[in-house]
């Protein structure tokens, strides 16, 4: 029988050759990663990359088919599921709140699963309502809350048991930009308190803003790993000239024109991206050929890294 003893000295989560198959398709294809305790770690990639399947294996909603996964020192096998789940907070991608209940009622119901009673229960619920800035809406039915506030209720629910690791699967999908940034502030505050946070996202700005380190996933594989700044510096030139060019013939003409000066280039459906160390020089090169073009110079970002590594975008 496998021992349930955990190694508390190691990383928060570690995977070696982690694999999950559905029929003949490997949704997660032999990936390796290591998440340190207290780290804000991200999985960046498009829908279908294998991020959510990886998360489901971590929080024990999906069994591991092959490889080794350890969560908080426990091997991720059925005998250890209870020990792992008791120390995780989970905010799944799917929306799963009972809209007839209030935020306070939801926290009261779920607090029982963590053995919270009496004054300890009241104190913890009050702390979480305050943290999530839900105090003034605690008696409103969830159906009346905005998308951002509903997500905050889910996060507060995931924090009831004071988890060692908080797992968030695409937490800001469907939120407007203001609600997304408000939620980012809450997650940054949690990270500052020392909570290990594991995030999946297909938003490159979210990954850049929040993550200490991240892996880039595509088609079930990890294609790169590092800090956001390190991944950008290692994989793409620092400046990008982005030109909107719907016409294929004009894109070909611009490709030829930029040949001598661009260090790299990417062609998308309606845009051309030219990379270099001097964005203004790229822009001047463009104006030698045409003026009045819909174009901008910007710093390289994680989407450029993804394009460089995979040949397609994050959406």
Query: Tens digits of per-residue pLDDT, 79-130?
Result: 999 999 999 999 998 888 999 999 999 999 999 988 899 999 999 999 999 9
Q: In this model, does residue 155 exceed pLDDT 70?
A: yes
- CA-CA distance, 295 to 112, in Å (whole number)? 56
User: What range defines the domain where residue 218 resides?
Assistant: 13-227
Which two structure tokens, joined as six digits, stand for 122?
A: 């009241």
Q: In this model, does residue 2 exceed pLDDT 60?
A: no
**Whether 138 and 82 share a structural domain:** yes
**Whether 35 and 163 share a structural domain:** yes
**Whether 291 and 202 share a structural domain:** no
> Rounded to two decimals, what is the model's pTM?
0.89
The CATH number linked to 96 is 3.40.50.300
**Whether 63 and 182 share a structural domain:** yes
**Whether 71 and 18 share a structural domain:** yes
Share of the chain above pLDDT 90, in %: 76
**Whether 289 and 216 share a structural domain:** no
204-233 tens-digit pLDDT: 999 999 999 999 999 999 999 999 999 999
Whose tokens are 């174009």? That residue is: 295
The CATH number linked to 251 is 3.30.70
Q: Which residue from 71, 79, 69, 63 is spatially nearest to 22, judged by alpha carbons?
A: 63
12-58 tens-digit pLDDT: 999 999 999 999 999 999 999 999 999 999 999 999 999 999 999 99
pLDDT value of position 258: 83
Residue 306 lies in a domain: no
- How many domains, in total, are found in the chain? 2
**Whether 210 and 260 share a structural domain:** no
Residue 265 lies in a domain: yes
264-311 tens-digit pLDDT: 988 888 889 999 999 999 988 888 876 656 889 999 999 999 999 988
**Whether 161 and 270 share a structural domain:** no
Q: How many CA atoms lie within 13 A of 63 on its CB side?
A: 6
pLDDT value of position 1: 36
Share of the chain above pLDDT 70, in %: 96
**Whether 197 and 245 share a structural domain:** no
- CA-CA distance, 282 to 286, in Å (whole number)? 6
All residues at 6 or more sequence positions from 82 whose CB lies less than 8 Å from its CB, including other chains: none
**Whether 44 and 166 share a structural domain:** yes
pLDDT value of position 94: 86
């Amino acid at each position: 029988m496998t021992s349930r003893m955990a190694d508390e000295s190691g990383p928060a989560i570690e995977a070696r050759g982690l694999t999950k198959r559905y029929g003949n398709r490997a949704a997660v294809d032999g990936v390796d990663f290591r998440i340190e305790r207290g780290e804000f770690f991200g999985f960046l990639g498009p829908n279908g990359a294998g991020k959510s399947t990886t998360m489901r294996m971590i929080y024990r909603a999906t069994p591991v088919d092959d490889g080794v996964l350890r969560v908080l020192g426990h091997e991720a096998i059925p005998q250890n599921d209870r020990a792992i789940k008791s120390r995780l907070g989970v905010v799944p991608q799917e929306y799963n709140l009972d809209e007839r209940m209030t935020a306070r009622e939801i926290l009261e119901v779920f607090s029982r699963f963590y053995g919270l009673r009496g004054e300890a229960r009241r104190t913890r619920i009050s702390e979480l309502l305050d943290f999530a800035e839900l105090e003034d809406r605690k008696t409103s039915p969830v159906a009346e809350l905005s998308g951002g506030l509903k997500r905050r209720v889910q996060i507060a629910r995931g924090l009831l048991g004071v988890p060692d690791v908080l797992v968030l699967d695409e937490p800001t999908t469907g939120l407007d930009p203001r609600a997304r940034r408000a939620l980012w502030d809450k997650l940054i505050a949690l990270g500052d308190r020392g909570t290990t946070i594991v995030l999946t996202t297909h938003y490159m700005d979210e990954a850049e803003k929040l993550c200490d380190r991240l892996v880039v996933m595509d088609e079930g594989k990890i294609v790169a790993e590092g800090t956001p700044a390190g991944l950008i510096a290692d994989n793409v030139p620092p400046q990008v000239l982005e030109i909107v060019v719907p016409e294929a013939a004009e894109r070909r003409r611009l490709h030829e024109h930029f040949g001598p000066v661009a260090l790299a280039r990417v062609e998308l459906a309606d845009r051309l991206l030219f990379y270099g160390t001097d964005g203004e020089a790229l822009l001047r090169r463009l104006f030698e050929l045409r003026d009045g073009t819909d174009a901008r110079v910007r710093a390289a970002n994680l989407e450029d890294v993804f394009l460089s590594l995979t040949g397609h975008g994050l959406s």
